Amino acid sequence: MSTKTKSLTPLMRQYHHIKEEHEGAILLFRVGDFYETFADDAELVSEELGITLTKRNNGSDQTPLAGFPYHALDTYLPKLVKKGYRVAVCEQVEEPSEAKNAGRKVVNREVTEITTPGVTMSEKLLEHKRNNYAAAIYWEDDRAGIGFADVSTGEFSLSEVPEEQLNDLLQSITPAELLLPKDLKNDVPEFLLDYNLTFIEEWVYEGDYGYDLLTDHFETHSLKGFGVEDQEVAQVAAGALMHYIQETQKASLGHIKRLQKFENNDYMALDGSTKRNLELTTTIQEGASEGTLINILDDTATAMGGRLLRKWIMRPLKSLEPIRKRLNAVEALATHHDARENLREELNKVADLERLISRICVGRANARDLMKLKESLGQIPLVKMQFNHLDEPLLSDILDRMELLIEVQERIEEAIAEEPPASVRDGDIFKDGFNDELDELRNIARNGKDYIAEIKDELAEETGISSLKVGYNKVYGYYIEVTNTHADKVPEEFIRKQTLVNSERYITPELKEVEEKILSSEEQSKTLEYELFEELRVEIAGYAEQIQQVAEAIAQIDCLQSFAEVSYHNNYCKPAIADDQKIDISKGRHPVVEQMLPPGDPFIPNDIHIENEDEQILIITGPNMAGKSIILRQTGLIVLLAQIGCFVPADEAHVGLVDKIFTRVGASDNLAAGESTFLVEMNEAANILNNATRNSLILLDEVGRGTSTFDGLSIAWSLAEYLHNQPSVAAKTLFATHYHELNELENMYEHIANYNVSVKEHDDKVIFLRKLVRGGADHSYGIQVADMAGLPSIVIERAKEILSNLESHSLDVTDSNGTLEEGAQKKKAAVKKAAEEMEKQGQIAQPSLFQAQLDPNTEQLIDKLEACDPNRMTPIESLMLVSELKKLVDKRS
């Protein structure tokens, strides 16, 4: 023991010992009626919770101190965990009298729970309709293993993927806490930095430790029965996670019954950009749930259904048969309105069975939880009744898995009182007649005076002393008082305790036993009730696996009825799903936008036909605000909805199975990582080209707009060619762009088609028709949109003047003072040289653009071309130059 440690008070020595065992966690140290924190923890807690920071005499010095009353734990603990901290709760595990009798100066204390962002059972930290995963990662060579679990529901899974797929897998899970080996603390891969990271000892990942931990927990000789014996890298990760959960929970984990193999290949791949751009669970701008797909689809009646719905949205299916099964079940529910409405009513009365049985298993349930369990299980027959007339295979299969568990209901019914207290230590949990000993103690506690009166009457009759009294005081407790007149009748077993002037007071062993029963009966009954409750809790926990299966079935029924409810009320249609390369949507709508439009402003539907061997790439042009982005997103959402087994917002829809959806939408940067808007855009484009397949769906909303016009146009053009010409990535693609020049691609490539979102122009104002029509657009109406945005009129008028000048073939634009731009001769030479060089190297996709003969019709244009310097041209000058070249080609043809 160091000199400094020796100088500490016994309490602080105990604190430091426990704190060292829980490095990295804030230690809430129970001292009497308060949870105290010391030193660095105190300073942190004071700042984060806004509570007073004081000092404590620590023997040789003053230690910072901050604390709060023990009954405020449920208020302050969630605040710390939500900020990303791990919190260890250290309780007094004996009474002060016990420590004193044992000759110790401080009571024994132990950490009874460690709460972390990913491992918690607290209702105040958990979202009812969202899983709370902790995940652990392990790498070996080019393979990555991951174990992930939701302790609050008992779900425990592992998966093994190529290292490059790890990011997508993590994004499909979205863990609240991510575990890594300590040796990575200073070398964390960049894509993991946004997660809440916890570092654990390297030895946990070594040897067979993790494998043995898993087999010990699941009480198996191997992991073959779970189908994961060959997932050696994932086993290491899952073992590390199990170690972490056991270390933090300090309780039985009997509710973790199964180790599931998560097959990422079973689901459509959705990268982070796609989930964000399609706004599946959060909006791009505010990160809120309102205005998202899940907000529209979630009409679930249970928390379990809500969590499963989120999984289904984030993990669309790729196999034909399970999708069709879901769609058929949704159809049955959507067409039988009474059954669906009744089902929803009954499901509304079902509590969160997954989290209820988890709390029961880990010893954190109360009697009210058991009553909720009983009442929820009592709903199962009523749920099943709604399907008497529905002969639908998937629904029948789900209902067959809903065991009634009558024995569980009856056991709780016979034991628990109708309105039990919230605490398991306050008594009044059990019904009268449940336990004979408890009934006796209750009778004594409730009828103590009557019991004493009965004893007094019995003694008076036995002794013949009619004036005998039984009294009570704090010094002697219960006593028998006999006047001196009857002293000769006092039995020998009476023990004299006090002499008064006219009487004597006695006690008897029997009376002291009764006294003990009366005075301690209430406390004894509470203790006995707690013991009886623990026995009942353990008994009910033995049904955990069956209850979890019931919960899973209810969640599935709830998701399907939610799809049916939303589909019916929003006028969705059942899509035809096929294993082909065609997407054909008639009058498709954006499921979110149509619900957010103001009354009287109808959503304008659109048709989409896209097929690998026909119109594989749709070049979609049109002005700003015309609706190009909405058409792209609604197409992606309709495909996704179809593949999660939901009806879709359209009159008709044929969806050929898609293996991946990619999006490249809008402008954003990642300045913290040193990435400009254009670099982010190119990263996303590279990800698409490197990972798309013929069975993918690609949604490109502007490519190349973050750089100079010529660079951007060149990249967009080349990207479109690549998607058309490379068989391995020739995916179905919707390409929205302001580069009207890309319309030329339709004439050059067999599977590229031009579309535009039409508008009308009236009195120099633009009217958006929101309709997708065949053919390309040649005007962006940017000035009209700028006018709508409220730019000053002088700016708008000047812009019109410049545009008119440009469109009249004069690229020598004057400035606002009428002065001609200088350097025309330099521009001439530079552009001529660039054009000749590009022609010589064969870089022009359409040779006629730069191989026009110098006839009289082109001399004026060539003069202007030679006067331009590509390195100094503005974007609008560049666009006008390309426009002039296009007109030249048209004239020559």
629 annotated to a ligand binding site: yes
DSSP for 266-302, written as a single string: GB-EE-HHHHHHTTSSS-TTT--STTSHHHHH---SS
Rounded to whole angstroms, how far apart are CA atoms 827 and 877? 12
Do 554 and 402 form a contact (C-beta atoms < 8 A)? Answer: yes
Asked whether residue 628 is marked as a ligand-binding residue, the answer is yes
* Sheet containing strand 582-588, strands side by side: 576-578, 652-656, 582-588, 606-611
Q: 384, 339 in Cβ contact below 8 A?
A: no
Helices and strands: H and E segment counts in the chain: 32, 27
Q: Is 624 annotated for ligand binding? A: yes
Amino acid at 27: L
* Three-state secondary-structure class, residue 393: helix
Write out 610-670 in H/E/C secondary structure: EECCCCCEEEEECCCCCCHHHHHHHHHHHHHHHHCCCCECCCEEEEECCCEEEEEECCCCE
CA atoms within 13 A on the CB side of 573: 17
Q: ∠323-324-328 over CA atoms, to 5°?
A: 120
Helix, coil or strand: residue 693: coil
Residue 287 contacts residue 540 (beta carbons within 8 Å) = no
> What b/e sequence results for 261-278 when a residue is b if at least 16 CB atoms lie within 10 Å of its CB, and e otherwise?
ebebeebbbbbbbbbbbb
CA-atom Rg of the chain in angstroms: 38
Task: Give the orientation angle of helix 875-892 with respect to helix 793-807, to 10 degrees.
Answer: 30
Q: Angle 232-249/209-218 helices, nearest 10 degrees?
A: 70
| Cβ-based burial of 361 (10 A; exposed 0-12, middle 13-18, buried ≥19) | buried
How far is Cα 397 from Cα 346, in angstroms, rounded to an integer? Answer: 19
Residues 776 and 740: beta-carbon distance below 8 Å: yes
Contact 387, 399 (CB under 8 A): yes
Per the CB < 8 A criterion, the answer to whether 376 and 550 are in contact is: no
Residue-by-residue DSSP string for 194-261:
TS-EEEE-GGGGSTTHHHHHHHHHHT-S-SGGGT-TT-HHHHHHHHHHHHHHHHHH-S--TT----EE
Is there a binding annotation on residue 627? yes
Q: Tokens 């409405």 belong to which residue?
A: 341
Q: Treating both helix axes as pointing N-terminal to C-terminal, what angle do 353-362 and 367-377 enclose, rounded to 10 degrees?
A: 140
Give the pairing of strands 582-588 and 652-656.
antiparallel
CA distance 92 to 94: 6
Tokens of 454: 């009965």
CA angle 570/571/577 to nearest 5° reads: 110
Question: Can you tell me the distance from the alpha carbon of 253 to that of 258, in angstroms, rounded to the nearest whole number?
Answer: 11
Q: Which residues contact 328 (CB under 8 A, 6 or more apart)?
A: 392, 393, 394
Listing DSSP states for 549-583 in one string gives: HHHHHHHHHHHHHHHHHHHHHTT-BPPEEESSSEE
Q: Which two tokens stand for residue 472?
A: 């009570």
Q: Is 207 annotated as a binding residue?
A: no
446: closest CA among 382, 389, 517? Answer: 517
Q: Helix axis angle, 393-400 relative to 544-569, nearest 10°?
A: 150
Residue 847, annotated ligand binder?
A: no
Alpha carbons 680 and 208: distance in angstroms, whole number: 42
Residues flagged as binding site for ATP: 622-629
Residues flagged as binding site: 622-629
